Structure 1
Amino acid sequence: MSTRVFSLIIGIDNYKSGGIWNLHSCVDDAKRMKHWLVDALSVPKDQIRVLIDSHATKEMIEDAFMEHLVNNPAIEEGDGILIYFAGHGSSLPAPPNWYQSNATHNANVQVLCPYDHDTKSALGRVSGISDRSFHALLDDLASSKGDNITVLLDCCFTPSQTKSDGLHRRVTRWTSTAKATPDDLYRDLWSGARGKHSPRSGFFTADLPSHVLLAACPAGGKAIEGKEGGKFTNGFLHIVSQLPLHSTPYSQLMECLRKAPAGPQQAVCIGKYEHRHLFNDVPFDIDRRLSSATLNTATGLLKIDIGDIHGIVEGTEFSLHFYNRRHSHNPPVAFAIVSEVHATCCFARVKPPEARIPETCWAKVRRWNNYRPFRVHLKVTLSSFLRMWKLGHNLPTKPGHSQSSLNGLNILKVKQPNLADISLNVGRQCVTVVQHKPILSEDEKPTVKIEGKTGPEVIDDAALFNMHLVHKNLKSPLRNLVHMELYRLDPLSWSKSGVNYLHDGVATIPYEAGAIYQVLLRNRSMVDLWAYLAYMDPTKYSITLLYRPDSSDQTPPLPSQGYLEIGSGKQGSEALSFAISEHKHIQAGYLKLFLSSTPTNMNTLEHDPLPHWSADLDSDGISTSVSMIPIWDTALASIEFINHPDGNSLMPCGQRAHPTNNH
């Protein structure tokens, strides 16, 4: 799941002017900040703009600020925004009437130094990005996108004050401005700052209403870099990896940074919202991979709210955690091994037994203990030989020695494709996967290309996807008692506009952009049921919950001898929609229905959910009241959308694919 954080990152080592000392680690710091956003906070790369060295001129920085941030339609009000600058700072004498107050008429103007600082341009001498221009830019951004803005400045604005300080000149992120004049400051002003005095002196103003400023040092301090990078940036990246960020305010984060042994002692946090959490908690939503757990102190057993319906078996291993927040430091405090499995929960013993854990905590599957390993065949070509050799070297080939993947599933390499679940080839730009089992039809084996992920990541995703796809209750207590139907809806009346597309668990649908659908469930059993519907996309190995009932309502949504409409058009029940790429002729997926006689939390099922389908998603809580031994079952339907250039389907509904396993 991606994070709604957007960023402009600037790092400058090499300056255009020969009179400015070049730095050594600002570019590396900028790249490390990007990696932190991508790797630790799951920010998509296209939400990050990085400008380094000659690409970080004054004009390019201002253009990127407006294009990537202020005028970016993808950014919604309240999204997190990070602006990072590593390079030189400087200062110039303030020109007449620069500040509102006469008391500041002799003050200097602090500036950020772009690549072309203090050099000639077509319009004159570049005097940098002044504090007044920067605040005007931030005011424009806050007016457009909200005040969830974080600014990190790893630079300083004053020269060395003593002779000994001069020894650190080459590692201090400050430079003098030799040629630009106070008049150049007026000419270089951002348009939004023209025609009015500057109410603020410098970047360090305590009442900043538009953003929170985290800086390497206060006014008059020094920003130093070393072999490991900027002292401030290095300390910041270290400390954010050690703190539960979902419960750590900016001010406390910086206090921890100042107290760290190798941290920048003068780092400052300034702004009206300094007591907010980082990015106002936007990246730190609920981590659905974790399930609630309760310790029975008398028996020593841990009850975990995940069970047989989710794929838990005896021997499944969990790690135990204090929190259930994404992207926030949350190391395991202990481990647990399942000894008893029920329909919607399990019981586990804490490991080691003497481990001290709270009575309520959160559990994450560490090893599923799947009895049948996920089998992978590697398709080696001449161009991919080295990459495939490295991948295959880490995959075991003998049963009983199967490797546990990142998601905790057993993986096994096989020599023949007919024995494999998938065949895989790792190219330079993407990973190509041929899916063998299960397949949507007998006459073709779907091939998908996945970009942006490594071979191990794709294998990991495919293994977890396959486990949830084929998992079922072998006893099938609801076989032929619950039926799933799929209808297209009229977009105006929201009434059914055609026949049921699903026949024997298969639907072949002529694709129409913007079409909406409804799933109808009929319950002919004698049991009231809780229903959970997921869409499983084999082209991305994503699993998205389309419907989960509001369990605060104690009435099961699928009553005995009754029905449930998913996408009914009624309030709180959005219709289902589907979109496929224009160049694709066929796109296929699965609808998987989970049924339980008691409410259960199915959020752990979701894996890299993507917004191809839209549907009603209700609350996450579950009821713990159980009046009978719970039962559970599943149903599976395969769907193929046919995208024909002339708008006609290739063949009538239900005649292309062969039945998949259904009730």
Structure 2
Amino acid sequence: MPSTRIFSLIIGIDNYKSGHIWNLHACVEDAKRMKKWLLEQFSVPSDQICLLLDSRATKSNIENAFMEHLVNNSSIDPGDAILIYFAGHGSSMLAPSEWYNAEVKAEMVEVLCPYDHDTKAAQGRVAGISDRSFHAMIQDLANRKGNNITVVLDCCFSPFQTPANILQRSTTRWSKTTRAEPDDLYRGLWPSAREKPQEAPLGFSQLTPSHIVLLAASPGQRCIEHKDGGRFTTNFLHTMSGLPLHRTSYVQLIEHLQQLNEGAHTCICAGKYRDRILFDCVPFLTNSHFLPASLDEKTGLIKIIIGAVHGIVEGTELSLHLHNYHYSRNPSIATVIVSDVQASWCFARYKSRPETLPALFWAQLAKWNNRCPFRVHLESSLISFFRTWKLRKALPTNPSTGPAKNRLQVLRVKQQVLADISLSVEGNHVAVTQHTLPQPDTRTVHIHSKNPIDVIDDAARFNMHLLRNNIDKPLHNLIDMEIWRIDRHSWLRISGNHLKNGMAIIPQDDSAVYQINLRNKSNIDIWPSVLYMDPSQYEISTAYSSASCQEPPLRSRGSFNIGSGEPGSEALTFPLDDHSSIVFMKLFFSSVPVSMSILEQCSFSPSRNNGPRCVFDVPSCLRSDTPNVVWDTTLVPLVLVRQESCL
């Protein structure tokens, strides 16, 4: 899954420094649950989350983390999503003189209670983080990083209304401030708030343009917790896991939360842009592993834009879904099995039928139905015996057992000579020895931080796409290719052709860029695509795609340069390890535009582009019934060596 451009400051406080503040029970766990939710549901890298718990969540530590992790964080670009979460006590204090504008009639100030709230400081006492300070902090952040800021406060700011409620203070996220004075609020003000008197009496629920805030309770209401978590945070996480987030606004989210509260208290969503989609849609990039699909009225079959060029065969199984966005709930609504395969699309029949289908929906591969199982030989030592034994139990030894859970049919073999790969689990990494790749020598690669089953899945799909081709070879010897090094400024060639006898030796240095020249000797106009395939990590990425081109880039009897200096044709670079390595370029040629992004399996760099995210021209794709589509492939091994070693 791709990582997400969400950055977060999460604060949870159960145990307070002051003996006058009643300790809570579930705030720390709520904060940990929020972090886990970001890690698992949105694939947020852990270094994009700052977690402050209990004694680490002092007022100064919170303010320092706010500056270092958010405001001054060079990794955060304007428009990236920022989430600030606080679980702990809220409080309220008498406002000092001139705290509000003269026309504002208010007496109280809402404050968030850090760990050291209401304790002695260098001067006076810690009076928490006031609403006035907080809004100035967020405005400073918005000025630097944009207003895609979400604040979630699981606390309340109103005192108990009846003596009976005092008995429930251990489950209420509000505390009385007993010793801090109104002047302490002035001493603790955020610098940019000092010359800006409070303009509204609404506390943290002001309708600001700088951020959206979600509050657990309205003024005068209690925010409560149980031992298994705060009611608001629990409902928030439950709701976020069950909604199609890519089309859910903050207002709609709060409506769902209110339904779960069943009238116990009223949640608040405040902010000028509260009708905005959650996180301003930043996490919800389109997922290229979902394919456009539609119901064919003539045949009653499902037409899906994936075909033989992608490796589809009869019997391939796909699930149907309502959308194609990352990180938004998207359950399967039906299952189909491919019955008719064309070059760039296929027909599929229902295996399980939905009640209704929209005009446009999406398909995802469930089982490739590869005819020849991918064969794995497991090696083990005394140290790795237990982990290897568990792996043996997960892999079938009989083809009749069908595809494994990794969507490809995988077979465990007892003899290395019969295997495509040999695999062993060694400490915190998996060692894989290649046996069938088209390269001069057999190499062992070490892959870290991956489950062995995931490594086998990646290796199986990598090998399938690397080795498969069109058995008819319609363009055999009809497309010539050359690889040239070019000057990155003038785009002029500065080397001879590196591609000789079907293999390219690529001298490397830090500034080397290359150009591919294609010459078409056929009578067919061609749309080319280039995949970069790295067997050291089983990564497949798109180096060049012509799928969005209206006109064929490689005309009949013509030529085309990939890396020409023209828009959409960037020069190629080849990353190099510390030693010589062998990678592959797989070229796909088609007489119609075809997206090959479904084959990608690589480290994902989230897009920072706020433009259109749909990668398919869906209506034209589904209407296209071009007969006699021609497609073919070419595989080029690249031997990457450092330049000085070739002198």
TM-score in same-fold range (> 0.5): yes
Is 1:332 matched with 2:335?
A: no
Alpha-carbon distance, 1:30 to partner: 1.6
State whether residues 550 and 619 of structure 1, in contact with CA within 8 Å, keep that contact through their aligned partners in structure 2: no
One-letter identity of the residue aligned with 2:371: Y
Match for residue 450 of structure 1? Answer: 448
Equivalent-residue separation in structure 2 for 1:532 and 1:53 (angstroms): 54
CA distance in 1, matches of 2:30, 2:294: 43
Q: In the alignment, what sits opposite 2:592?
A: 598
Aligned counterpart in structure 2 of residue 576 of structure 1, from 572, 575, 598: 572
Q: Distance in 2 between matches of 1:428 and 1:21?
A: 46
> Is this contact kept in 1: 2:547–2:595, CA < 8 A?
no
Q: Which moved more, 1:308-317 or 1:530-539?
A: 530-539
Residues 559, 82 of structure 1: alpha-carbon distance in 2 compared, 3 angstrom cutoff: same
> Does 1:589 find its partner at 2:589?
no
Residues 456 and 202 (structure 1 numbering): CA distance in 2 closer, same or farther, change over 3 Å? farther
**Distance apart, 1:189 and its partner CA:** 1.4
- Per the alignment, residue 365 of structure 1 pairs with 365
Secondary structure of 1:272's match? Answer: coil
Tell me how far 1:449 sits from its aligned partner.
Answer: 2.5
Which of 497, 500, 507 aligns to 1:500? It is 497
Q: CA offset at residue 72 of structure 1?
A: 1.1
Which shows bigger deviation, 77-86 or 376-385? 376-385
Match of 1:144 in 2: 144
| TM-superposition CA deviations, 1:122-150 (whole Å, max 9, x none) | 45422211111111111111000111111
Q: Over residues 341-381 of structure 1, what are the superposed CA-to-partner deviations in whole Å (9 max), with x where a residue is unaligned? A: 11111111122357432343111111111122223333333
Structure 1 equivalent of residue 268 of structure 2: 268
Which of 602, 623, 644 lines up with 1:608 in the alignment?
602
DSSP-derived class of the 1:349 partner:
strand
Cα deviation for residue 208 of structure 1 reads 1.0
State yes or no: 1:436 paired with 2:432: no
Task: Please give the residue correspondences for 1:317-466 in structure 2 after superposition, counting only pairs within 5 Å.
Answer: 317-353=317-353, 355-406=355-406, 408-427=407-426, 429-438=428-437, 440-442=439-441, 444-451=442-449, 453-466=450-463
TM-aligned CA distance change 1:235 to 1:618, over 3 Å: closer
**What is aligned with 1:56?**
57
Deviation at 1:311, TM superposition (A): 1.0
Q: Give 1:427 deviation, angstroms.
A: 4.9
Q: Does 1:540 align with 2:537?
A: yes
Check 1:161–1:484 CA distance in 2 against 1; reply closer, same or farther (3 A cut): farther
**3-state SS of 1:204 partner:** helix
Q: Matched residues in 1 for 2:171 and 2:140: separation?
A: 34
Q: Contact 1:78–1:145 (CA<8 Å) still a contact in 2?
A: yes
Of 485-494 and 258-267, the range deviating more from structure 2: 258-267
| 1:637 Cα deviation after fit | 1.5
Question: Within the alignment, does 1:101 sit opposite 2:102 as a pair?
Answer: yes
AA of the residue aligned to 1:640? V
- Aligned-partner SS, 2:221: coil
Partner of residue 559, structure 2? 563
Measure, in 1, the Cα distance between the counterparts of 2:394 and 2:264. Answer: 41
Deviation at 1:486, TM superposition (A): 1.8
Q: 1:9 to 1:562 in 2, by over 3 A?
A: same
Q: Which amino acid aligns with 2:432?
A: V
SS of alignment partner, residue 499 of structure 2: coil
Residues 342 and 382 of structure 1: is their aligned pair in 2 closer, same or farther, counting only changes over 3 Å? same
Taking only aligned residues, the RMSD between alpha carbons, in angstroms, comes to 2.4
- Report % sequence identity: 50
In structure 2, give the amino acid aligned to 1:85. Answer: F
Aligned partner of 1:209 in structure 2 is 209
The verdict on how the C-alpha distance between 1:232 and 1:523 changes in structure 2, with shifts beyond 3 A counting, is same
Pick closer, same or farther for the CA change 1:619–1:394 going to 2, 3 Å: closer
Q: Would you say the 8 A contact 1:439–1:445 is kept in 2?
A: no
Residue 258 of structure 1 aligns with which residue? Answer: 258
Residue 499 of structure 2 aligns to which amino acid in structure 1?
Answer: L
Matched-pair contact (CA < 8 Å) for 1:249–1:278: yes
2:254 and 2:198 mapped to 1: Cα distance?
Answer: 28
Report the AA paired with residue 584 of structure 2.
Y
Contact 2:106–2:201 under 8 Å retained in 1 = no
Residues 188-216 of structure 1 show CA distances to partners (whole Å, capped at 9, x for unaligned) of 21222223312243543442110011121
SS in 2 for 1:213: strand
Which runs of 5 or more residues in structure 1 are unaligned? 653-663
Cα gap change, 1:218 to 1:105, in 2 (>3 Å):
closer
> Match for 2:531: what amino acid?
A
Q: Contact conserved, 1:232 with 1:264, CA < 8 A, in 2?
A: no
Q: Aligned partners of 1:511 and 1:203: how far apart in 2?
A: 60
For residue 529 of structure 1, report the CA deviation from its aligned partner.
1.0
Distance change >3 Å, CA 637–CA 303, structure 1 → 2: same
Contact 1:414 1:420 in 2 (8 A): yes
Within the alignment, does 1:228 sit opposite 2:228 as a pair?
yes
- Return the letter of the residue paired with 2:405: S
**Contact between 1:11 and 1:30, CA under 8 Å: does it hold in 2?**
yes
The 10-residue stretch of structure 1 (115-124 or 509-518) with the greater mean CA deviation from structure 2: 115-124
Q: Deviations over 1:445-503 (max 9, x none)?
A: 1413322x322232222322222222211222212222332221112211111012222
The one-letter code of the counterpart of 1:301 is L
Letter in 2 for 1:449: I
Q: CA 1:375–1:112 in structure 2 vs 1: closer, same or farther (change >3 Å)?
A: farther
Query: Displacement of 1:565 after TM fit?
Result: 1.0
Q: CA deviation at 1:100?
A: 1.6
Q: Is the 8 A contact 1:317 1:365 kept in 2?
A: yes
- In the alignment, is the contact (CA less than 8 A) between 2:10 and 2:52 conserved in 1? yes
Aligned equivalents of 2:505, 2:199: Cα separation in 1: 65
Corresponding residue number in structure 2 for 1:88: 89
Distance 2:567 2:125 in 1: 61
SS at match of 2:4: coil
Q: Secondary structure at the match of 2:61?
A: helix
Equivalent runs, 1:35-54 vs 2, <5 Å: 35-54=36-55
CA distance in 2 between counterparts of 1:464 and 1:265 reads 52
SS of 2:167's equivalent?
helix
Q: Quick one: which amino acid aligns to residue 512 of structure 2?
A: A
Q: Is the 8 A contact 2:526 2:555 kept in 1?
A: yes
Q: Determine the C-alpha separation between the residues in 2 that align with 1:419 and 1:534.
A: 28
Q: Could you report, residue by residue, the CA deviation over 1:287-346 in whole angstroms, capped at 9, with x for unpaired residues?
A: 111111121234211111100111111111111111111111111111111111111111
Equivalent residue letter for 1:465: F
What SS does structure 2 have at the residue aligned with 1:258? helix
Q: Are 1:172 and 2:172 counterparts?
A: yes
> C-alpha distance in 2, partners of 1:203/1:507?
66
Structure-1 separation of matches of 2:334 and 2:419:
35
For the residue of structure 2 that corresponds to 1:577, the secondary structure is coil
Question: Are residues 1:518 and 2:512 paired?
Answer: no
Between the aligned partners of 2:75 and 2:138, the Cα distance in structure 1 is 18
| Superposition deviation, residue 609 in structure 1 | 4.6
Does the Cα contact within 8 Å between 1:376 and 1:413 map onto a contact in 2? yes
One-letter code aligned to 1:561: R
Q: Return the letter of the residue paired with 2:631.
A: W
Q: CA separation of 1:264/1:462 partners in 2, compared to 1, >3 Å: closer, same or farther?
A: farther
Shift of 1:400: 2.1
Aligned partners of 1:591 and 1:638 also within 8 Å = yes
Does the Cα contact within 8 Å between 2:104 and 2:201 map onto a contact in 1? no
Distance in 1 separating the partners of 2:16 and 2:466? 56
Question: Does structure 2 conserve the Cα–Cα contact (< 8 Å) formed by 1:97 and 1:105?
Answer: no
CA shift for structure 1 position 419: 3.1
Write the distance in 2 (CA, Å) between the matches of 1:611 and 1:519.
Answer: 24
Quote the residue 2:197 is aligned against.
197
